[in-house]
Amino acid sequence: MPVLALLADTNTDPVWWFGIIGAVLALFLFVAIFVSRQYKRCPSNRVLVIYGKVRGQEASRCLHGGGAFVVPLIQDYDYLSLEPQVIEIPLEGALSLNNIRVNVPSTFTVGISTDPVLMNNAAERLLGLADSKIREQAQDIILGQLRLVIATLSIEEINKDREKFMNLINENVAQEINKIGLELINVNIRDITDESGYIVAIGQRAAAEAINKAKVEVAQQDRDGAVGQAQAVREQTVSVAAENAQAIEGEKVAEARQRIAVSAQETAAVTGEKEAEQLKRIQIARADALAIQGEKDAERERRIQVAKAEATAIEGENLSRAQVADSNAKLLEVQAAAEQRAQVAAAKAREAILIAEREQELARLSKETLAGQEIEKQRVEIAAEAEAEKRRREARGEADAILAKYAAEAEGLRKVLDAKAEGYRALVAACSTHPEMAPTLLLVEQLPQIVAEQVKAIQNLKIDKVTVWDSGGGGGGGKGATSGFLSGLIGSLPAVHELAAQAGIRLPDALGSVVDQAPEEDADAG
């Protein structure tokens, strides 16, 4: 052993060398364990994402399958699951191309792609997110793209051309979810309905068309069967009539041959009778008359038989003709009945076609006219609601303005009344030494208005001048009319002062005052 030789040559302690070897082995084992722990393998159902300091300017390095060494302190790693995720899309009220809202509940199956570009997108946008967050992002994208696809298609295209609908969904949705690293695995459209019932109406129309088409085909088959039956009956009748005619013809031929044979036999008999008569005329004279008589009897009998045979033949002919006529009449009846059934079947078929055309026309009118009327109705309702809301707001604004106006007027009136009350309180306070002056001042304050009202009473009277004509007579005590008026006015002043005193009013000083003379009279009396 080289180690033992080295130990023997250097005379060194073997234990020390075994310690060094053990330390080297331990260091090697530690490095192997460290390397094995830092070497990360990627399962088939995951994507290994190494991030940190990677090659070039890349933010991460993605691996599917195999493994890679993760440099400690410089790099770290995480996994992205490749398991498919099922996303429920409860799409409701999506607006189609012809402004009809449809409900398209569907199920989308998505998953993280193994394409290098898509894996990097997933590593940048989905790494570390929970599955619920990934489903939420995908659901938002799918909902938007699904609404966009529905907006480009009409109800008929969505309902009939499902292949085009699915291709558009796959194209648009796949393109958008690829941006976050997902790929579209499967799309399942569970059902397509609409709020207005248009799809149901289309199905009913298609069912009605199929039923009407089947009814027309059944009527055509019935008509063909009836026509074939009539043709078979006619051919049968014609064949029977032909056979009957041939039978009658054979009977006539046999009857003619029979007549010819009878005539030949009669001729031969007559010839034999003549020869026998010539031979026996000499010998049997008396037998001659008997022969003639027998001949006449035979002739008569022959004629009778011939007449009977002719009558029988004529009767057979007439019977055959009657049978032929009856057969022809029956044939005509059968033909008429067949033609009638054919006409009835054709009429029923035309009726079914007209009914189908009427339903088709009604469906077309419902699509072209009623849909537009429904849209116009909704537009009118929206406009009416907007106009009503406008009027309500205008009325509310007018009411607020009127209320503010009346509130302002009331506030102004209240301030005027408060000012007047304050003025009245100041007036009463000023007249505290002479309380009787306050009503007089208030009355004086109202005199302009009273005078104005009195002037209004006589303002339309035209008075050029006032002339007092006094002749000096006419009054008691030698007073004139004018002096009498003045004395009467002055005499009425005490009564006016007394009335004003009772009302609590003090008259102006220009009207004078009443002096109480009672004390002076008492003094004079005393």
- Residues with Cβ within 8 Å of residue 152, at least 6 apart in sequence: 97, 168
Residue 491 — pLDDT band, cuts 50, 70, 90?
low
Tell me the CATH number of domain 82-195, given options 3.40.980.10, 3.30.479.30, 3.40.30.10, 3.40.50.720: 3.30.479.30
How many angstroms separate the CA atoms of 302 and 289, rounded?
A: 19
CB 60, CB 54: distance < 8 Å: yes
Q: What is the pLDDT of residues 197-221, one digit of tens each?
A: 777 767 667 677 777 777 777 777 8
Each domain of the chain, given as residue ranges in start order, spans 2-78, 82-195, 203-397, 437-458+480-525
- The first and second tokens of residue 494, run together, are 């005490």
Residue corresponding to tokens 């057969």:
327
How many angstroms separate the CA atoms of 153 and 173, rounded?
A: 16
Mean of pLDDT over the chain: 75
Q: Across-strand partners of 183?
A: 111
- pLDDT(472) > 60: no
SS3 string of 375-412?
A: HHHHHHHHHHHHHHHHHHHHHHHHHHHHHHHHHHHHHH
The pLDDT of residue 107 is: 92
- The first and second tokens of residue 359, run together, are 């339903």
Report pTM: 0.37
- From the list 248, 373, 371, the residue with the least C-alpha distance to 316 is 248
Q: What is the pLDDT of residues 61-74, one digit of tens each?
A: 888 877 887 777 78
Across 48-57, 163-172, 382-391, 428-437, least confident range: 428-437
Residue 526 — pLDDT band, cuts 50, 70, 90?
very low
How many angstroms separate the CA atoms of 142 and 184, rounded?
A: 10
How many angstroms separate the CA atoms of 182 and 341, rounded?
A: 68
C-alpha distances (whole Å) from 139 to each of 114, 283, 386, 402 are: 21, 146, 36, 55
Residue corresponding to tokens 């941006």:
179
The pLDDT of residue 1 is: 44
Residue corresponding to tokens 């619920």:
132
Q: Which 3 state secondary structure label does DSSP give 387?
A: helix
- From the list 219, 159, 157, 206, the residue with the least C-alpha distance to 359 is 206
Q: What is the pLDDT of residues 262-297, one digit of tens each?
A: 777 777 777 777 776 766 666 666 656 666 776 777
Q: What is the pLDDT of residues 308-362, one digit of tens each?
A: 777 777 777 777 677 777 777 777 777 777 777 778 777 787 888 888 788 877 7
- pLDDT(43) > 80: yes
Q: Name the phi and psi angles at 471, rounded to 5.
A: -85, -5
Q: What is the pLDDT of residues 91-120, one digit of tens each?
A: 888 888 888 888 889 999 999 988 888 888
